Amino acid sequence: MTRLQYASDLHLEFAENASYIKHNPLKVAGDILVLAGDIGYFGDENYSRHPFWDWASDNYKQVIVVPGNHEFYKMFNLDSLYNGWTSRIRTNVICYYNAVIPLSEHTEIIATTLWSHIERQDAFRTELAISDFRRIKCGDNDSLNWTRFNMEHDKCFRFLKESIFKSNKEHIIVVTHHVPSLELLAPEFTGSPLNGAFTVDLTDYITNNPIDYWIYGHSHRNIDKIIGGTKCVTNQLGYVFYNEHLAFNPNKFIEIY
């Protein structure tokens, strides 16, 4: 049995968050660390040089990073992504986009950003309100728009479904950045027209598939819930300057086989 520690939304691109993590590092609780997105910006020249990666590399046998939307800020071109895309940050620290990662003879991780899905009636308001649509690039000159956002959701969800269908492992752990069920939505966001940029309701899919754990992030609200037989768990630092870090657990882990 192995312990898999998990966290997300460290947002090291912000000085307050970087300082907090420097002075309050994760408490090592496992051999493997999974980071479910929004650690920093790929386009920041300091991203791969950040001392956090040295610390993580030294303290865990394996670090698995699944990109969130913020990783793609600074005009990262989504056209450069493909199933199985990886970026090696340190020898044992690798970022995966739409990838299956074997952990043992019995267990694998299926990793995908799993962009959520925006309804047409909410598209205009969402594009105005959410920074993704000004800070992420598609193609040579175009910024991300809601239709491409939904196309990325379709690609990710198709990859996820195919990977679970093909899996012969006894234990499956799904890791996404975006929130996979409205049952994981914080009450204060109920009915918000912006929810499509954060959450996609896959409740029925989760209920009807053999997923042991689903690790997610993005919402800056730490809500764990069992859906069907799947334990949906999260551990998000969030924005320190908004006191969202108060619910963060520096040594949250699951046990895997």
- pLDDT on residue 176: 99
- pLDDT on residue 223: 99
Rounded to an integer, the average pLDDT of 99-128 is 98
Q: Is the pLDDT of residue 1 over 90?
A: no
Rounded to an integer, the average pLDDT of 153-172 is 98
- pLDDT on residue 141: 79
- pLDDT on residue 234: 99
Indicate the pLDDT class of residue 185, thresholds 50, 70 and 90. Answer: very high
Q: Is 45 helix (H, G, I), strand (E, B) or coil?
A: coil
Distance CA 113, CA 128 (A): 22
Rounded to an integer, the average pLDDT of 176-189 is 98
Q: Is the pLDDT of residue 210 over 90?
A: yes
Indicate the pLDDT class of residue 175, thresholds 50, 70 and 90. Answer: very high
What sign for the dihedral angle of Cα 45, 47, 49, 50?
positive
Contact 103, 60 (CB under 8 A): no
Per residue in 48-60, pLDDT tens? Answer: 999 999 999 999 9
- pLDDT on residue 46: 81
Domains, the chain: 2-256 (3.60.21.10)
Rounded to an integer, the average pLDDT of 102-119 is 98
The residues facing 35 across adjacent strands are: 7, 65
Per residue in 119-158, pLDDT tens? Answer: 999 999 999 999 999 999 998 878 999 999 999 999 999 9
Per residue in 246-257, pLDDT tens? Answer: 999 999 999 998
- pLDDT on residue 139: 85
Among candidate residues 65, 17, 39, 28, the one with its CA nearest the CA of residue 252: 28
Among candidate residues 2, 109, 11, the one with its CA nearest the CA of residue 61: 2
Mean pLDDT of the chain: 97
The residues facing 213 across adjacent strands are: 173, 231
* Tally: H helices and E strands in the chain: 6, 14
Per residue in 187-204, pLDDT tens? Answer: 999 999 999 999 999 999
- pLDDT on residue 50: 95
Q: For residue 170, what are the contacts with CB-CB under 8 A and spacing of at least 6?
A: 106, 107, 257
Give the phi and the psi of residue 4 in degrees, each rounded to 5.
Answer: -115, 110
Q: Return the percentage of the chain with pLDDT > 70, whole number.
A: 100
- pLDDT on residue 140: 81
* Stated pTM of the model: 0.97
Q: How many CB atoms lie within 10 A of CB 69?
A: 24
Indicate the pLDDT class of residue 43, thresholds 50, 70 and 90. Answer: confident
Contact 50, 80 (CB under 8 A): no
